[in-house]
Amino acid sequence: MKSTARTRRLALILPAVAAATATVAAQAPSAASTGAEQGKAAINVSANTLARGNVAPAGEDDFEKSVLTTGLADPFEILFAPDGNLWATERTAGRVTVVDPDTGDKRTVLTIPEVVHTPGEQDGLLGMAIDSGGKGKGRAQGSWDVYLSYTYDGDPGAALDRRQRIARYTYDASSQQLTSPRTLIEGLLASDDHNSGRLKIGRDNTIYYSIGDRGNNQDLNACRLIESQRLPTAAEVRNQDWTAYQGKTLRLNRDGSIPGSNPRLDGVRSHVWTFGHRNHQGLVFDDDGRLYSAEMGPKSDDELNLLTAGGNYGWPRIAGYQDDSAYVYGNGSARASGCDPADYDAFVIPDDVPQQAESSFHDPRLVPPVRTFYTVPPDFDFQGERCAPSGLFFICYPTIAPASVDFYGERAIPGWDESLLLPTLKRGTLFRMPVASPTLVDGPLPLFRSQNRYRDTAISPDGGTIHVATDSGGLVEGLDGLPTSELANPGAILSFRHTG
């Protein structure tokens, strides 16, 4: 990977990883097992087989937990800025908040009045990326650019027309405020669900941004067509009509223009970098510049993907692997008798709804996932007994709901080098996934389980502390295994410091 010695060491552990992966595959989850139990099956294999350079990886007992700060309004993105502080976007308050990583003290550096947030929904102030430009070597020194994504109302009238905007602000250390906003792109279709909304800056100085499928074809959005497979036309790009950008990863220049090196898809160059996504709330570059995404699946098959230019990641024709296992695409928007969201059924596709099996889909640009969480048999019972009394079946689905993804390089925690970290919403768990090669990822190994919804992570500059942001509300699988809305640490940042 990063050196000849590193490559040799990876070569030595690959047989062990392959053996572990094969064993995990052999222990495919049964129809009676829960998502948590499926995770444990993989965990028991991986924890005993994978050690980096003969170093036993640090486990949960090697960390000290503390609550860094509370009172945040649904922190969505947390990351370290050049001033050494932890910065957070507060999704439902439209605020950017700076948190002292030593004391937990907070101060607001920006409030965006035009941010639209609908109570109980998934719109608001979302992703953030910081570009220091080589400035700001210590606390309260220098200035830097901050990129933000947020939902706003695109209709000047009474109707709500949710749109997404990406804007650049400049941080002025003297005033300790974000100022001078400049819009890069706006008018992106947004929703009350599946906005994704992660921002990352690549080594190539371009901006990568994830847009979900807007929750189309399910629940109250059941009659809206999923556009993840549709690609923009040349006329749409000329007219700045971004309708086809749903379910995509975008790549933008710093001024919002289209990079000349973006792929031509069906003969058209646009902001689209990859397509065929459902809700990829996680984006991260590894130390070698590869871009990974974590994506939420429907009832099974959450995905970890390695993104490549022009790649098609299958949704909605494919969920997880192309295996015809427990998923068929039913296009409710094309129902012969007419579509009504009130008729939506998460478990039964009516006969007059067009249906397509995964095996019927063909595209040479199709890229399979690196891992799924979890692939289950075609006869899997998604209405298991455990969640039946509450009717909150989605809590018991064989998924983990990955809300983000981070990369831990060669840092301070023993045995963690070259690992992906996935915070999950449904079971308040941080999963560590050792990366043996770009497409061979082990685990998941569970850590820091609590009765919370884990939304994002940030790794301290010294690599010794993992910070985890929690939602202010929502449903989670409780420590007793049942659905609950009682969260242990709502709207907080938790810190897990390696003590050795």
Query: Annotated catalytic sites, by residue?
Result: 194
Half-sphere exposure of 198 (CA within 13 A, CB side): 30
Place of tokens 């503390």: 66
Place of tokens 């129809």: 31
Short-list 495, 368, 497, CA closest to 439: 368
Quote the CA–CA distance of 187 and 241 in Å, as a whole number.
Answer: 8
Beta bridge partners of 52: 55
Beta bridge partners of 268: 265
Q: Which helix (H) or strand (E) holds 248?
A: strand 248-252
Length of the chain equals: 500
- Cα separations in angstroms, 464 against 136, 191, 408, 409, 458: 22, 37, 11, 12, 11
Q: What is the DSSP string of 51-113?
A: -BTTBPPP-GGGEEEEEEE---S-EEEEEE-TTSPEEEEETTTTEEEEE-TTT--EEEEEE-T
Identity of the residue numbered 480: D
Q: Which two tokens stand for residue 126?
A: 């979302």
Identity of the residue numbered 203: R
Helix (H, G, I), strand (E, B) or coil at 400: coil
HEC assignment per residue over 124-164: CEEEEEEECCCCCCCCCCCEEEEEEEEEEECCCCCCCCEEE
Q: Which two tokens stand for residue 168?
A: 């650049």
Quote the CA–CA distance of 357 and 366 in Å, as a whole number.
Answer: 15
Q: Which two tokens stand for residue 29?
A: 């989850």
Q: In what order do the strands lie in the sheet with 371-373?
A: 282-285, 291-295, 302-307, 371-373
CB atoms within 10 A of CB 55: 11
